[in-house]
Chains A and B, each alone.
Chain A
Amino acid sequence: MARYFLTRIFYTLPAVWLVVSLVFLLIHLVPGDPILQMLGESVPAADLQATRHAYGLDLPLSQQYLNYWKGVVHGNLGLSLRYNQSVSKLLMQRYPYTLKLTLAALLVAVLLSIPAGVRSARRRNDWDDRTISVVSLFGLSFPNFALGPILILLFSIKMGWLPVSGSGSFANLVLPAITMGSALAAILTRMVRTSMLEEMNQDYVRTARAKGLSEGAVVYRHALRNAMIPVITVLGLQFGALLAGAIVTEKIFSWPGIGRLTIDAISNRDYYVVQGCILAIGLTYVAVNFMTDLVYSILNPRIRQ
């Protein structure tokens, strides 16, 4: 296991290098002078030069790249012009909110998809299987930026059950988590169904039935456990999409996470904050993929060979 762990770290390091390098290059994609774009046309030339120097943009590209790496290692990602705070501090304040929302969305997706996927597989070709398949295809096609406002309309405005926005209580989390988790629930339902159908045809399931186990025990204790192995891989891969989706959901519900910070920073041309947000999401994505690999190897020891 230790060897496998080290091998996975070895494979993850290039991904970390790529994320940091691509994020570093982002600031150089800005057409023209990024400092001029941030400060505006009317700023005096001396201030422009001083800010360019403060951000190290007057140095050769290789030196800027080294400095950026040093900054990443020491947690120094520059200064936000709008908030007049260090980008790292802003990220530290906002990151827990995004993580909380993403995990809640993941929970919603898992709680919806496993019973639906299992039922769909057990009642294959039945009307509820077909209903679940069509509903999941709709869920996959319904954009979360459309679902969010519709949920607000129904549950906040019409029924008054849940708050429209904010982040203070558990009630604030419900609608954003459903908005963010529904598309993943649709993907996972399809995945659980396919995976369960494969497992239900295996010999060990027949043996379990022949032993006289109840259908519930056969399905949940035997088949589902094995069916979850590929599902967990998809879950890990989709976590990144979920994180990126947080940008949309946080905008709809004014959730004070990294997503909203990104959108606010983009509209304010606060480029270093945008860079920091993209880096935080990118590195989380790499870390989650790494952890998914490890969990997968624990669940399926054959992969370690």
Chain B
Amino acid sequence: MSTTAISLPRLARRNPLAMIGVVLVIVFVAFALFAPWIAPRDPAQINLPDRLLSPNHTHWCGTDELGRDACSRLIYGARISMIVGSCVVLVSLTLGLIVGSIAGYYGGGIDRFVNVVVMNAFLSFPGILLAIAFVAFRGPGIFNLVLALSLGGWVGYARLVRAQVLATREREFVEAARALGASDLRVIVLHILPNIIQPVIVQAAIGMAGAILAEATMSFLGLGVPPPTASWGAMLNDSRAYLFSAPHLVLFPAATVMLAVLSFNFIGDALRDLLDPRSRIEAGL
């Protein structure tokens, strides 16, 4: 096992930005889990007489073009971002672990096929374009969105896992496990994976930031979760028409997306620095 363990107090001492990231993530997860209790109003409740109100003591972030409470919509929007983000990371990570482990462990023809043909096929398009193309033809919805974003997302994990497995499979403890008669599955799952999981966790933290950003981008383009479900990207798109009269409707969702993405980037950066002394030296920490 690697000697560098991930510990939160250590992370906080070394890198206060990471601690800010952890706190923000806790806030966003709480928003997602307890939105009905935290949100001051029903996010779908239309109230036309109160449309396009500026932030005030009743509506902290103002109201949108249909008089819906923007603050409640932002809180509920965390649900879509967190659900889509974590599902995309989970699906991509699982696929990446399976494909990367098989390619790296068995090597030879299987590795060449996976590395040259399959991975290159998915890398021949920018990830977000692949997602846009998939949803454009399959239609919007949360399931299609997760699938679309995972299509381009798994390759990064598979490449990382493949490289790590290639480096680990020749080590003594793996050979010892094989000599004791352990099956390939047992060697991969119980002996190799626990030893390569730390860089994969770093990739997952950074991947979560990317997935949240991608979900918001898709929603902004009208390819996310259909209305009236609140999502940050769709809120931004809807409010563009009122940029002059109600700029707060752009500013609040923009700041929320940025904070959500930034929080996972802070955590990912800090974990990478913690696990890779070289990057820590480069960063001057």
Contact = CB atoms under 8 A, between A and B. Distances in A.
A137 B257 CA distance: 14
Interface in A125-144: 125, 129, 133-134, 137-138, 140-143
Contacts of B220: 143, 145, 248
Contacts of B203: none
A274 B128 contact: no
Contacts of B243: 149, 152-153, 157
Contacts of B132: 244, 247, 262, 266, 278
Contacts of A247: 129, 132, 221
A143 B124 contact: no
B181 interface: no
Nearest to B266: A137
Interface string B230-247: 000100110110011001
Interface string B134-174: 10111100000000000000000000000000000000000
Contact of B265 (A137, A152, A263): A137
A146 B250 contact: yes
B221 A146 contact: no
B126 interface: yes
B261 interface: yes
Contacts of B134: 29
Given A142-B258, A145-B217, A153-B250, A244 B282 contact: no
Contact of B222 (A124, A138, A267): A267
B217 A143 contact: yes
Contacts of A244: 126-129, 132
Contacts of B250: 146, 149-150, 153
B120 A18 contact: yes
Contact of A18 (B121, B222, B265): B121
A143 B265 CA distance: 13
A150 B261 CA distance: 18
Interface in A12-43: 14-15, 18-19, 22-23, 26-27, 29-31
Contact of A124 (B236, B254, B284): B284
Contact of A274 (B121, B136, B236, B251): B136
A235 B61 CA distance: 39
Given A30-B138, A149-B236, A150-B251, A281 B258 contact: no
Contacts of B282: 194, 197-198
Interface residues on B, range: 35 or more
Q: Which of B129, B217, B240, B250 neighbours the largest number of chain A CB atoms within 10 Å of its CB?
A: B129
A243 interface: yes
Interface string A169-195: 000000000000000000000000010
B253 interface: yes
B265 to A, nearest CB: 5
Contacts of A286: 124
A142 B125 CA distance: 23
Contacts of B239: 149
Contacts of A18: 120-121, 124
A150 B254 contact: yes
Nearest to B259: A141
Contacts of A124: 284
Interface in A44-97: none
A252 B253 contact: no
Contacts of B254: 142-143, 146-147, 149-150
A271 B129 CA distance: 15
Q: Which of A142, A145, A252 neighbours the largest number of chain B CB atoms within 10 Å of its CB?
A: A145
A271 B239 CA distance: 28
A248 B222 CA distance: 11
B146 to A, nearest CB: 16
A281 B126 CA distance: 9
A160 B260 CA distance: 31
Contacts of B192: none
Contacts of B251: 150
A240 B128 CA distance: 10
A255 interface: no
A282 interface: yes
Given A27-B137, A145-B220, A248-B221, A285 B265 contact: no
B128 A143 contact: no
A298 interface: no
A134 B138 CA distance: 39
A125 B129 CA distance: 38
Given A137-B269, A146-B250, A194-B282, A29 B137 contact: yes
Nearest to A34: B137
Given A124-B284, A149-B236, 10 more contacts: A29-B138, A133-B283, A142-B258, A143-B258, A150-B254, A194-B282, A244-B127, A262-B132, A281-B126, A286-B124
Interface of A: 14-15, 18-19, 22-23, 26-27, 29-31, 124-125, 129, 133-134, 137-138, 140-143, 145-147, 149-150, 152-153, 157, 194, 197-198, 240-241, 243-245, 247-248, 251-252, 262-263, 266-267, 271, 274, 278, 281-282, 285-286
